Each structure stands twice: as structure tokens, then as C-alpha cells.
Structure 1
Amino acid sequence: MTKAIKIALPILTPILSIIFFIPLLASAAQTNVVISEIAWMGTAVSYNHEWIELYNPTSTSIDLTGWQLSAADGTPDISLSGTIPPKGYFLLERTSDNTIPNVPADIIYSGSLNNTGENLFLKNQSGITVDQINASTGWPSGYSTSTARIPMKRIDPAGDGSQPDNWTYSPKCGTPTTSGGITYSCTPTVTAVSQPFQYEIYFNPLITATTTTTVPTQMESRLVQTINNAQTSIDIALYGINRQSIIDALIAAHNRGISVRIVGDNDAAANDYAATYQTLTAAGIPLVTDNSPDIHHNKFMVVDGRILWTGSTNFTDTGLT
């Protein structure tokens, strides 16, 4: 017998930080400065407080005089100067030095990043492009809502900056670091909300020789209804999914403008559920895979930042019937 629990939660941030965490990968050799972190959405204080961090993976200091960091559409267009130390960072803050409190910027620049994506070029003093982040069709990571803004962080400095899977969410408010080694750290504010804690529990019937995989159970019907009622976002972490009603509901939600994101399992993506994973990505739903059995044993779906669906049931024919 399997069960799923649907819980209404007033606080979302701790859940998202667990579900969408992706481990850092080991870096290969890199011979030039790269763009390492981007707060394209601003900070929790203001969406205008954008910042960009550069990283020098080499063993020598690099003079950035005459270098240029610019977007293909012309904004921003930043002339660099100063020195970035070996294995060190360089911080660019938009508009003023108040963007990141108590952290002096290496460069103050003007011009906002487009929230729908940019194609960024980092060029040296000879005009040669040493790094490119082609996110013209949408930023590969980072998170922006009315209550939270989380920067995107490069996973592998030696990897292609235009590959979406080389970016992840930067913890909390990011780790903007200056050439002097000063790093800003923040403590998230948790607000206690006085409201009832509501939950519903669903059990599937025992499997028998006559059990059919075509008749929806109460659990399946409620799951589809929850997806159909989503207003803004659906974030999922699970192992297996092949139930057609769930696939159709997720694709329909994506098509009507709901932000649908999925973290799946490496083994499932390569074997039993490969076809379903491909169907979802072909429909335009962002899906990344991770090898984390401790996360994927239980299945999670967060809807609109306030409803949590969790339990031991995969969204599959055998799991939901």
C-alpha cells in the first residue's frame, strides 16, 4: 500500500533549497577569467540591485584594464579596470556601492540585465572573447519571485558558460566576492505565520490480480486537480513518472504559462523512464537529473509556493493504481 501526503505550507524557502540543490563538479584547467556568478534578478532588497562576479582560475594576477563585459543588445556595456588576483574574484555592482551592503565593489556600472535572458561577452584588451554566456533564450538558473531572488552560480569554470547545465542556484543570496577577498553573506529571514496547518492523506487500494492501470484512483484524481489548479509554479523532485494523466497535466500547465521545473534521477532518465523524461523536455519543461537516492526515495511537488505534495508514491502506472 502506498500513500501520499498533501501539506499546505506557509514557508517555501527551505524546501526549494533542498530540492533544487545541485552539487558542484570538479573543475578542469582554465586559462582565463570567467563570469562566475550573476544576480540578474537583483537582490531581496531591490530588483535594481544587480551584480556580476568574475573569477580568475589561473595562478597569476590578471590586469583587467581595457577589458569589456557587454551584452549583445548593448546593455549593459561595462569597461573594466583593476586587477583580479590568482584564484580570486572581481565584483561588479550596478548603479551604486549600496547594491551589496558593506562590500566595496571593484567596479560600479550602469545598465540593467534583461530578466528574460542576455547574451554576455567578456573580452580582453585585444577584443578577444575569453568567455561567453549565451542565455538569450532565458537564464539557465537563478530564481525571482516577489518574495525571493536567488542568483545563478557557475558550476565548472572550465566548462562552457553557454551550457545551461553548467549553472545552478547560488545558496541563499549568493556569494559575491571582491578582489580583496571580501564575501557578503546573508542570513535568511524566517517569519512565523499564524495560520492552521492543513493536510490531507491519500491511500491507494491494495494491488490485486484484477487491478487495472486505467481507472484513476482518488490519489491520482487529486494529484491531477492540484496540478490543474496551479496559478504560478510547480516544482517537482521524484524518481519515476510515466502516468499519462500526470504528464498531460504538467505539459498543459507549462503551456498555459505556469513555471514547471523537475529534478529527476540519473538512473531513471537513462533506463525505465527515459521516454517520459524526453517527452517532458521536448515540451519545453526544464528537467535536470541528479543521483541523490536520499532525496528521490520520497517524492516532492511544491505548487504555488504554498502546497507540498509528498509521499513514497512515484507518478507511475504502478504507483498510482
Structure 2
Amino acid sequence: MAISILPPAPAPPSSHHGTSDNGSPDSDGDVDMADSGPPTKRAKLSHKAIVTPGETVTDDPQWMRGHGTHQTPHSSTITATVAGTLLRTNKLLSISPLRARYTPEIGDLVVGRITSVQPKRWKVDLSAPLLAHLPLSAIHLPGGIQRKRTSTDELQMRTFFSEGDLLAAEVQAIFQDGAASLHTRSLKYGKLRNGVFLAVAGTGGGGGVARARRQVWTLETAHGGGEVDVVLGVNGYIGIRPTIFQLVRISHATSPSELTPATKITPSRIEAIKPPYAIASASKLEAEPW
């Protein structure tokens, strides 16, 4: 049976297997998803067209609807509900949106903002559909003390993180509703200070930053400003802060006014390293002692 994909672009003629492995023609009428080799169940990205909301994808009854599509009752017509690129996984049709919120995954390094302080946990904005949770038991206590959290620690939660603070963390778990649970049990995680915050937009459920083995980079700044650490959050939030060696110098300052120009991160110092697709600096991080 011939398959036709309706506008925005006409589908190429369906290619059937002329002969199967045993020399008999392919009789199931399936679409050849690959040029050679056995068929795979991995979703293949269609490079033919971008569909828009309300547009008819196909009216062939052999296709099943997936994410980003809609099918009315007693009808075989599948229409798009989001703007994006068509994905075909065997007989399943889905649409990868051009722009979507971040979808958390375990192990992701993210940069978030504290939105509220609740009993024994903080709520963190990750640009995801739901706010993430940062339990009190998942942070480092001052001095790196390893002990059970007490009611005294709960009363001092705002001394660790308060509303509006930016932090780097790792996704530790995903709840059934899709919310993420974070932790900062590492020296590379924690509150971000004396730096600049940037945000980039992503596509297809990503935050605009590709997942990689390394998410923290040390780069040279312009005008002889020295080195800075660039924390690339997978959720699209980016924090630019001093290197660990400069943080030691900052830790001896008793007030923001005591920070020297060499330890302050200013927009002019990061102009040469700011990605061209980044949104203008949304807000500066705290210029306070570490």
C-alpha cells in the first residue's frame, strides 16, 4: 500500500523491499526506514518538512499517533498539535517540538534558581515543567561535616540557600510526576556567586546545551582578566564564575566592597567568551564572599 504524507511537503514515493532475505517480495507493505541493514526501533528524524499545529500529517489508517499529534474519534486522520519535525518509529508518528521546556534526566548537571524554602527542602526552577526539589540532606554542610541533619539545620536553611540564589547541582532522581530531585554533594556544585548568569533556548525538550561528559570549562577572559569557570547547565542555564583558585581569594573577603577588580566578574570580561546565541545577561550573581 502506497503511503503519502500530506503538506507541508509531499512525501517521496514509498520504497518497498523488492526481495526479502529468502528471495520473496515484502508483503506487509511496510515503509523502508533505512537504506540497508535490519530495521531498527529507534526514532528516525524526518528531514522532509516541518509541520505546524492543526496541519494534517497523514490520513492512512496504518499509522499510530504519538506525542505532538491528535486523532479525532472514528477518523484515521492524524493532525499536528505542535510545531516541529516529524519522527517516525516503525508505525508510530510523533512530532519533536521546535521549542520546549527542559526534560530532566538522571545525571544531568543543571543550573537553577531557588524559588522557595520549604520544610527540609528547597524548590528550584530549572526551566522544566515542574519545579525541582533540593532536600536538606542532599547538600554539603559548612566545613564539609558529615552528620545527620537536625532541626537546627532546618531553622538555618536560608543561610545555605535563600530565594533568588543560583546554584549548580546534579539531577539525582526523577519522581513519578516528572519532577527532579537534586543534590550538591560535590565541590563543583553549590551556590554560584560573583559571576554572570546567561540563558539559552533549546529545541525538542532540550535546554539548548548538549549533554556531554564535561559540562564545566575553564576559559580565558578578555582584557587580561584571567580564567573563569563556565558551568553549562543541560537545562539551558549557564553560570560564569571565578576559577577555584580565585574563589580562595574571594573567601577571605569580608564584604563585596573588598573584592578586587581581578576577582570580580564583569560583562566586559566575558564578552569574548559569551556564546553568540546566548540571551543578554539576565542577572548578575552575588558578589559576596564564598
TM-score normalised by structure 1 residue count:
0.23
Structure with the larger RCO, 1 or 2 (CA within 8 Å, 6+ apart): 1
Greater gyration radius: 2
Structure whose residues are more often helix by fraction: 1
Q: Normalized against structure 2, the TM-score is what? A: 0.25
